[in-house]
């Protein structure tokens, strides 16, 4: 478990501080946590004046605890923003997911199978990315893996502590995943032994005492508005249609898993064969019941994002690990996995190199692509030889290079930090055209994403917007507005010479 943790940290820590705040979800989470520090209100979640009634408070509390333990609270109150401190709970959630998967593998199969499964999960692109992002998904993956371990080991306390954490992170989703896995496997086995082993009164009572108080408090505070928004508009809206243009046809997750479950995708053919040959095994049935019903449900829901299947990856990784250990002697399986991993890895390396073509020299780009491709092929070869530690270390180095050296310094992500660097100290920002949450997080809660400017404000406008005649242009900042998928040029103006009446007239002129 120590070595698995070290390999995971090799992939999770590089880039944690240098990767800019990601729009829009991460920046909303981090800014809402900052406002908890500023206001002292730990119940009602806010992004500026807007209520954040989509998810429970668990992720915000975890970030607040991280800020406290790392000594960042005073810095936040002074206006300083340490994004790495907000991301540490996601790192911890990812580590818990890896360790719980290993323990679940020990309970179901054996040490080598558990090691392979946990290692493949630790280096999955989806988990590595979410470990770098300050929101719910890495922590939810950890909570789900703990529940899965409890079911595998027939222990009630892990099941219900994981459910309590999952409820505070993302609401009832974890209940649906756990219920489908537990009841599905019980019906398949025609045995309720696992159900009886995990349905113990004391763990259930403690879980309710952990999770329920905040739900009661937010219900009273908002007069039920939280539940109408979270369950009705957010959860119901995802089922009814593609929310925020995040749509996809059935089969979306099968396709995206080619990248999101890399390098574990190399062992998926083996996992399928292993599951079929061992379909009468109760452990295998539990993992299949955990994966298949929820995966089908996610494929049918119109709203889709690649990380939605992450809570299912611990079970998939254990099937892949067990299959690889027990069936890897089949030469065609080893060859297919090697080819698949090599192709996907080289494509990822090429993609990373392409995103840096304009910001680095040709030599640097080519060298980066060669290094990443070499690490991919080395890990593939070592995996094929069952040299698990060398393969995991090579895979970890690939991801550390990709996130720490390349992605964290990508010109695709640096527009907001470059904008904020041009803003004078102690100046309020007004930005009606560039309305990204990362700007509020980095420039301060007082940032206004409207045209309501006052004399002395810093005004950020697109090159297509006519500024107030009294405003003085300072600098132009161009870059990639990745949230909208286009290049933009933003102009920073000073309004020190403006009168309030001039700014009000300009604001009213907005068509």
**For residues 408, 414, 418 and 419, what is the CA-based torsion angle, rounded to 10 degrees?**
-140
At residue 56, the pLDDT reads: 95
Least confident piece of the model among 14-18, 108-112, 341-345, 442-446:
341-345
393, 10 Cβ separation under 8 angstroms: yes
Which range, 3-17, 271-285, 346-360, has the best average confidence (pLDDT)? Answer: 271-285
Is the pLDDT at 326 greater than 90, yes or no? no
**Distance (Å, rounded) from C-alpha 76 to C-alpha 481?**
26
**Residue 157: predicted pLDDT:** 98
Digit-coded pLDDT (tens) for 369-409:
666 666 666 666 666 566 667 777 777 777 777 677 667 77
**Burial environment of residue 421 by CB neighbours within 10 A (0 to 12, 13 to 18, 19 or more):** exposed
* Contact (Cβ atoms closer than 8 angstroms) between residue 304 and residue 248: yes
Which CA distances in Å does 411 have to 19, 55, 440? 11, 31, 20
Distance CA(397)–CA(155), nearest Å, equals: 36
CA distance 320 to 113: 9
Neighbours of 77 (CB within 10 A): 11
Residue 403 to residue 435: CA distance in whole angstroms: 26
The pLDDT > 70 percentage for the chain reads 83
**pTM of this prediction?**
0.90
CA nearest to 394, candidates 380, 410, 412: 380
Rounded Cα–Cα distance for residues 77 and 94 (Å): 29
Pairing mode of beta strands 472-481, 486-494: antiparallel
The pairing of beta strand 429-430 with beta strand 458-462:
parallel
Average pLDDT along the chain: 87
What pLDDT, on a 0 to 100 scale, did the predictor assign at position 382?
A: 61
Provide the 10 A C-beta neighbour count for residue 383.
27
**Greatest extent of the chain over all pairs of C-alpha atoms, in Å:** 79
Task: Write the Ramachandran bin of 72: left for phi over 0, alpha for psi from -120 to 50, otherwise beta.
Answer: alpha
């Amino acid at each position: 478990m120590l070595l698995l943790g070290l390999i995971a940290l090799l992939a999770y820590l590089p880039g944690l501080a240098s990767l800019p705040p990601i729009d829009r979800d991460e920046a909303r989470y981090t800014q809402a946590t900052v406002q908890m520090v500023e206001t002292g209100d730990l119940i009602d979640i806010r992004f500026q004046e807007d209520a954040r009634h989509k998810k429970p408070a668990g992720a915000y509390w975890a970030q607040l605890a991280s800020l406290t333990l790392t000594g960042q609270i005073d810095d936040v109150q002074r206006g300083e923003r340490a994004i790495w401190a907000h991301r540490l709970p996601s790192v911890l959630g990812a580590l818990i997911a890896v360790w719980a998967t290993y323990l679940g593998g020990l309970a179901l199969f054996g040490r080598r199978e558990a090691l392979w499964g946990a290692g493949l999960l630790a280096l999955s692109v989806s988990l590595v990315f979410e470990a770098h992002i300050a929101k719910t998904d890495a922590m939810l993956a950890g909570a789900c893996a703990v529940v899965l371990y409890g079911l595998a080991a027939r222990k009630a306390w892990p099941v219900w502590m994981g459910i309590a954490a999952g409820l505070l992170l993302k609401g009832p989703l974890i209940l649906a995943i756990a219920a489908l896995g537990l009841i599905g496997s019980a019906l398949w086995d025609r045995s309720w032994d696992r159900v009886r082993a995990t349905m113990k009164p004391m763990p259930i009572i403690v879980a309710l005492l952990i999770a329920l108080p905040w739900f009661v408090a937010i219900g009273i505070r908002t007069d039920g508005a939280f539940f109408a928004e979270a369950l009705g508009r957010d959860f119901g809206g995802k089922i009814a249609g593609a929310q925020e243009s995040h749509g996809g046809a059935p089969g979306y997750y099968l396709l995206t898993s080619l990248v999101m479950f890399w390098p574990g995708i190399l062992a998926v053919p083996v996992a399928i064969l292993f599951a079929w040959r061992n379909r009468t095994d109760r452990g295998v049935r539990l993992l299949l019941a955990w994966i298949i019903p929820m995966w089908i449900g996610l494929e049918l829901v119109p709203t889709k994002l690649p990380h939605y299947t992450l809570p299912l990856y611990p079970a998939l990784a254990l099937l892949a690990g067990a299959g690889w250990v027990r069936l890897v002697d089949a030469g065609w399986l080893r060859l297919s996995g090697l080819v698949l991993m090599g192709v996907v890895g080289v494509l990822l390396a090429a993609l990373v190199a392409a995103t840096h073509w304009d910001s680095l020299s040709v030599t640097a780009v080519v060298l980066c692509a060669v290094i990443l491709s070499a690490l991919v092929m080395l890990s593939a070869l070592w995996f094929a030889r069952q040299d698990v530690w060398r393969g995991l270390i090579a895979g970890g180095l690939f991801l550390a290079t990709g996130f720490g050296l390349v992605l964290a310094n990508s010109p695709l992500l640096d527009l907001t930090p470059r904008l904020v660097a041009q803003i004078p100290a102690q100046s309020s920002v007004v930005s009606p055209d560039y309305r990204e949450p990362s700007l509020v997080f980095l420039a301060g809660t007082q940032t206004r994403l409207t045209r309501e400017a006052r004399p002395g404000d810093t005004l950020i406008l697109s090159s297509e917007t006519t500024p107030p005649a009294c405003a003085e242009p300072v600098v132009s900042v161009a870059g990639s507005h990745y949230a909208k998928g286009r290049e933009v040029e933003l102009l920073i103006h000073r309004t020190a010479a403006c009168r309030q009446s001039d700014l009000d007239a300009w604001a009213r002129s907005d068509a």
